[in-house]
């Protein structure tokens, strides 16, 4: 059993950092081009959501690391919550 847990713990899963979301009409999406700005539903100083399998697991804040962006993790759910998030999506 321990070997099974170790192999599960080595699984690579996509971590999503959600800046925000917005619904747009298809007509508006089709007019997007370079330089277009899409206003999000969050303020610039709001925390960002961390998701695994499109399920919320915690929050963070954007930081600059050299020339790249990173995320400073502020909160994260329990290991049980994170494992549950890796299960089938209800979407």
Read off the CATH number of the domain in which 48 is found.
2.30.330.10
Q: Is residue 73 part of a domain?
A: yes
Question: What's the pTM?
Answer: 0.73
6-46 pLDDT, tens digit each:
887 788 888 999 999 899 999 999 999 999 999 998 888 89
Q: What are phi and psi of 67, to 5 degrees?
A: -100, 5
1 falls within a domain: no
Residue 41 inside a domain? The answer is yes
Q: What angle do CA 51, 65, 83 make, to 5 degrees?
A: 20
Query: Could you tell me the maximum CA-CA distance found in the chain, to the nearest angstrom?
Result: 54
Question: What are the tens digits of pLDDT across the range 52-89?
Answer: 888 899 999 999 999 999 999 999 988 887 888 777 76
Length of the chain: 91
């Amino acid at each position: 059993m321990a070997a099974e847990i170790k192999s599960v713990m080595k699984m690579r899963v996509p971590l999503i950092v959600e800046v925000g979301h917005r619904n747009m009409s298809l007509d508006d999406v089709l007019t997007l081009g370079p330089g277009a700005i899409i206003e999000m539903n969050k303020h610039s100083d709001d925390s960002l959501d961390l998701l695994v399998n499109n399920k919320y697991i915690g929050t963070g804040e954007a930081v600059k690391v050299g020339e790249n962006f990173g995320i400073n993790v502020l909160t994260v759910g329990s290991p049980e919550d994170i494992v549950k998030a890796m299960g089938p999506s209800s979407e």
